[in-house]
Amino acid sequence: MNKMTNFWERFVQFITFINLPIRKKFLLFEVGTFFWFALVGILCVSSLSFIHYRYTQITQTTLPYTKLIYAISSELYSLEKRVTLGEDEVTLLTVKTSITQMKNAIAEAMLKIQKNPTSGNIFEAVINSLSKEDTQSLSALQAISKELNAMEALTQTKIEGLSSVQKEEMRKKLGLHVKNTQQLTQSFSLRIDGLYDTYSLQINDTIRLSINTIAMVIIFALLLLFFFTRWLQEAFSKPIESMIQQIHSIGTGEVDLTKKLQIKSKDEIGTLSKEFNKLVDSVYGVTVFKKVIEEDSSLEVVYGRLGEVFEKEAGMKNYRIFDVNAAKGTMSVVYPHIFDEKEFLSCNEEILHSCTLCRAQKTGHKISSFEFEGVCKEFIKEDGKAHVCIPIIVAGHAGAVVQFVFENCHTAHEMEAVNEKIFKAESYIKNSISVIETKRLMNTLRESSLVDGLTGLYNRRFLQDHSNQIIASALRRKKQISLLMCDMDYFKQVNDKYGHDVGDSVLKETSHILKKCVRDSDIVIRFGGEEFLILLIDTEVGYGLSVAEKIRLSVEEFNFKTTDGILKKTISMGISDFPNDTDGFWQAIKFADVALYKAKEMGRNRCIQFSNELWDQKASF
């Protein structure tokens, strides 16, 4: 059963040219269209030519013969009477006149036929060449002319010197020729009538056959055109529509691998679909990779995952990831894990003690010995080896460097394979930069006193010290930061009613809720008292408001425990986006505070997105 199915699938693909290149598809479509138009045209012209040929035969041959027969028959009828009744010389003169008129009629008919030979287009010429000459009609006319000549010869005899017996004998001969002529004319008339009927029937049959044939050809051609154009439409429109949908999904970050393009052909569309599916797989892999490393606990784990994707996705075998300590001016191999860096290095070991010797770290540009041999003096030259070093830019400087070592390429195909691997590796590197930057920043924070002692969140001093790095990173990546200013509703009543211990507990639980509702790459700050500031890194328009609503509902649903039982609290939030709302970072914080004030003014327990209408130039902050 499967063999039969495969056979029919291959047969359909063969007759529909599904696997032919697009250029050949349209060439065949053009040839096919020309063929059907030519076929219909040939059928129309040939059938009309045949009809015209037969019509010409009727009008230029049959009708003149018919007219000739009428003329001869009429004269023969009169001649028969004159020969039977006439006895004088006047009668012979009358007979002679009738014979002359009949001969003239024959000559006139023959002349008319000769002056109007069958002519026309090539189809008529072919039909005419294949038709047989009407020798029977010519023979009949020659026989009639022979009888008329014989009668004419008899009329030349003078009757004055003839006896009555001779006159009677001459009259009998003349009458015999008249009867023979009448018989020949009658026979000729029957033949001409038969030809007329035959030609008329052939014209009718040709018209009927032409109409049916042309109609069938046109219907068949239209069906083929319909199915072929529909097939072309399906072959082109569906993959393109699917690509548009997938591109839209990729643009919104919602990559769905279940919507891969179906590869139904081996032409350019099939190749495009295959390559597009590979692209979707790559984008999906990069997207998932970024989500995974965002949730990783440390920078070391992120480096390890980068190394894994270099091997699995990009097919890299020989690579190193260097981490740069800008404060100390050193760099070290962090992946793969090794015991002796010196033996593992492809560069001079001095770069470990002075990171500025590394050309990629110093310039912040990709360095490739494929582009210029010996571009980096620190790379240890080895026969058949080439290197590509890619810096990972963090806060405006190379915070890490990835080095790939390859065999020298001798063909364009080998170079293309290397470029493809580097492109895949760069995709993962670029998408990990924000996470690496955040992780490095978190490491720095852990080494400082920028953490609030009560909640474990970053404090206001952290924002003051590191705001420039955060701002520079966002501007460099051309991304926005959503700022969420949060304030517990009626928090003073908690302290007044339950005491500061319960108030501190509420703040701790609230900080846990805030951290739980955001990503690891986002930053939660205790801004002061019961106020919190959340920095959502690399967001789109509207993302901040959705996270704020998530936090608001989480706080509203949470049960805060006190000595007197369960306490329910709510939170109000104002949201602004930097640099969409303003190009000043601290101004954006003010805008978020203005939106928070509006939320409280409207009854609390709500989230308000900042808009220009909320900003009052006369307000003082």
Q: Both 465 and 592 in a single domain?
A: yes
How many Cα atoms occupy the beta-carbon half-sphere of 209 within 13 Å?
A: 12
CATH at 591: 3.30.70.270
Tens of pLDDT, residue by residue over 422-462, are 988 888 888 888 888 888 877 776 656 678 888 888 888 88
DSSP run (H or E) holding 571: strand 571-578
Residue at a domain's end among 221, 253, 281: 221
pLDDT-derived band at 588 (thresholds 50, 70, 90) equals very high
Return the top range by mean pLDDT from 260-264, 436-440, 476-480.
476-480
Contact 610, 594 (CB under 8 A): yes
Share of the chain above pLDDT 90, in %: 20
Phi, psi (deg, nearest 5) at residue 235: -65, -30
CATH at 168: 1.20.120.660
Average pLDDT over every residue of 91-107: 79
Q: Both 33 and 144 in a single domain?
A: yes
Q: Both 387 and 452 in a single domain?
A: no
- Would you say residue 135 lies in a domain? yes
Average pLDDT over every residue of 401-428: 88
Q: Both 153 and 77 in a single domain?
A: yes
Q: Both 463 and 584 in a single domain?
A: yes
Residue at a domain's end among 191, 221, 251: 221
- Would you say residue 284 lies in a domain? no
Average pLDDT over every residue of 168-180: 81
| Alpha carbon distances (Å) from 473 to 51, 307, 322, 442 | 87, 24, 21, 15
Average pLDDT over every residue of 459-476: 86
Q: Both 405 and 458 in a single domain?
A: no
Tens of pLDDT, residue by residue over 290-339, are 888 888 878 888 888 888 888 888 888 889 999 898 877 888 888 887 65
pLDDT recorded at residue 617: 43
pLDDT recorded at residue 620: 43
- Would you say residue 328 lies in a domain? yes
Q: Both 391 and 452 in a single domain?
A: no
Q: Which of 80, 530, 549, 556 is catalytic?
A: 530
Average pLDDT over every residue of 491-508: 90
pLDDT-derived band at 219 (thresholds 50, 70, 90) equals confident
CA 199 centroid distance within chain: 57
pLDDT-derived band at 558 (thresholds 50, 70, 90) equals very high
Is 89 known to be catalytic? Answer: no
What is the DSSP pairing of strand 571-578 with strand 607-609? parallel
Distance CA 234, CA 228 (A): 10
Q: Both 455 and 323 in a single domain?
A: no
What token pair was written down for 179?
A: 């009867």
Q: Both 103 and 174 in a single domain?
A: yes
- Would you say residue 314 lies in a domain? yes
Tens of pLDDT, residue by residue over 344-387, are 688 888 888 888 899 998 898 999 988 888 888 888 887 778 89
Tens of pLDDT, residue by residue over 44-54, are 888 877 777 77
pLDDT-derived band at 514 (thresholds 50, 70, 90) equals very high
Query: At 146, which amino acid appears?
Result: K
What token pair was written down for 5?
A: 């199915």
Q: Both 390 and 479 in a single domain?
A: no
pLDDT recorded at residue 586: 92
- Would you say residue 291 lies in a domain? no
Contact 460, 525 (CB under 8 A): yes
pLDDT recorded at residue 585: 93
Could you give the number of structural domains in the chain? 3
Computed over every residue of the chain, the mean pLDDT equals 81
- Would you say residue 436 lies in a domain? no
- Would you say residue 609 lies in a domain? yes
Tens of pLDDT, residue by residue over 240-249, are 777 777 677 6
CATH at 347: 3.30.450.40
Q: Both 396 and 454 in a single domain?
A: no
pLDDT recorded at residue 301: 87
pLDDT recorded at residue 141: 81
- Domain with 364, as residue range(s), is 305-416
pLDDT recorded at residue 562: 83
Q: Both 173 and 315 in a single domain?
A: no
- Across 573-583, b (16+ Cβ under 10 Å) vs e yields bbbbbbbebbe
Residue at a domain's end among 221, 253, 285: 221
Angle at 610 between CA 608 and CA 613, to 5 degrees: 110
Contact 224, 231 (CB under 8 A): no
pLDDT recorded at residue 208: 86
Tens of pLDDT, residue by residue over 528-543, are 889 999 999 999 889 9
pLDDT-derived band at 472 (thresholds 50, 70, 90) equals confident
- Would you say residue 70 lies in a domain? yes
Among 513, 531, 519, 522, which residue's Cα sits nearest to residue 452? Answer: 531
Tens of pLDDT, residue by residue over 483-496, are 999 999 999 999 88
